[in-house]
Amino acid sequence: MSAPLRLRPLSALPADLARFRRGGAIGLPERRVAASTVSRVRRGGDTAVLADVRRFDRRQATRAELLADRPAIRRAARRCPPELARALEQAHARIRSFHLRQRPRTVRSADARGSIELVPTPLDRVGALVPRGARSYPSTALMTGVPARVAGVRDLVFASPLPANGGLDPALAYALTLVDADALYRAGGAAAVAALAYGTALVERVDKIVGPGNAFTAAAKWLVSADVGVDALQGPSELIVVASSGTSPELLALELLAQAEHGSGAFAALVSDNGTLLRSLGAALVRPAAAAQGGVGRVALYRAADLSSAARATDIAAPEHVLLAGQAAARLAPAIRHAGALFVGERSAVPFGDYVAGSNHSLPTGGTARWASALRVEDYIRWTSRVALRGDLRTLVRAGAAIARHEEMAFHAASLEARR
């Protein structure tokens, strides 16, 4: 981005996005590597995990470093700078307040023949993944841990890569104390997924694995999903901004670059019908881009004939994040049905959702927002039907037995008829 970005027609967006997504969150090479890792961890347990940690994270890692228990987490948390601790507390409070409103309730129907209930029960044990870049991501610990505790999950264990220095980031540790984590397994990627799914000497197997990671993490989650619950197969991060006149090019440039900051795989696009805004934005992107560190994702600008067509194209794309910037764009919010999270108005920057808005930042990617949702309390709940019949059941017996005999289930019919 050393020169102003070239404007592209809106018609180019679907093909550009398809190339970015490359057929989904995981490809065949990632599946092969993940399959090998999962197999090794199932056979070798912590020893196999340790070999991966030494290869990818910390060459001198020891088995003792693989697990941080509650006391170790608390000790590290005490070193969290006070200002950062207060920020994490504020984020935790807002996330918890919003997720408390999501608590499910028993559904009940009753008549003279008895009652039927659909009863929510929290999962017993959950494993939450917290990826690591140059630093740890305490925000992800909050986003995965808060809804688990609100749901009533009994045991909550986290997994995050061991840093090269073998330390435990005080900010991550503080976030873990806020969600009352039981332990931190210090490994990442496919090895961590396999350890959580099948258990090792150091970590008991879980009922469900939640949280983001790289393509190998997603591939491993896909591979173990027959044996353990998983939340989603997240791919690279995505944002589409629909902007109308009157918005600040400088603010929008920062919004796009913030999304691209997620890494070289990220996709950040802006669509507008205002040529002046697009040209100003193309120039504004040059200055902050020079200050960006590390690999940044793709940033693209698209010219639409009108805002309605921009909204239609965005809804079809079903991206992870959508920002509607400007008064005219904000009025299009009802037209966006398919998005992991929708941010309405120029002041509703997407990074608020990453940290302190209170909504969950673990979102569907790769177009899966057509059917998938943000991580929520219900993801930590299973539902059980509870049926208690009584009284005169003759009409139910006749109807049930007639269906059973049509399906050639003679003993089903006989069991019902014995309850006349």
CATH at residue 13: 3.40.50.1980
pLDDT digits (tens, 9 = 90+) for 22-51: 756 677 888 999 999 999 999 999 999 999
pTM of the model: 0.93
My answer on whether 74 and 181 are in the same domain is yes
Q: Output the pLDDT for position 22.
A: 77
Average pLDDT over residues 200-208: 98
Q: Output the pLDDT for position 27.
A: 78
Question: How many domains does the chain fold into?
Answer: 3
Task: Read off the tokens for 331.
Answer: 């009025």
User: Domain limits at 280?
Assistant: 7-24+236-358
Burial 77-104 (b: 16+ CB within 10 A, else e): beebeeeebebbeebbebbbebbeeeeb
320 a catalytic residue: yes
Bridge partners for 230 per DSSP: 209
Give the end of a domain, one of 230, 246, 274: 230
My answer on whether 17 and 81 are in the same domain is no
Percent of the chain scoring above 70 in pLDDT: 96
My answer on whether 350 and 328 are in the same domain is yes
Query: Which DSSP letter does residue 168 get?
Result: -
Q: Output the pLDDT for position 25.
A: 61
From the list 262, 321, 338, 361, the catalytic residue is 321
Q: Output the pLDDT for position 295.
A: 53
Q: Output the pLDDT for position 291.
A: 43
Give the end of a domain, one of 171, 195, 230: 230
pLDDT digits (tens, 9 = 90+) for 335-377: 999 999 999 999 999 999 999 999 999 999 999 999 999 999 9
Q: How far is CA 172 from the centre of its chain?
A: 18
From the list 92, 320, 338, 346, the catalytic residue is 320
My answer on whether 134 and 243 are in the same domain is no
My answer on whether 125 and 196 are in the same domain is yes
- Give the neighbor-by-neighbor strand order of the sheet with 183-185: 67-69, 183-185, 155-159, 125-129, 208-210, 229-230
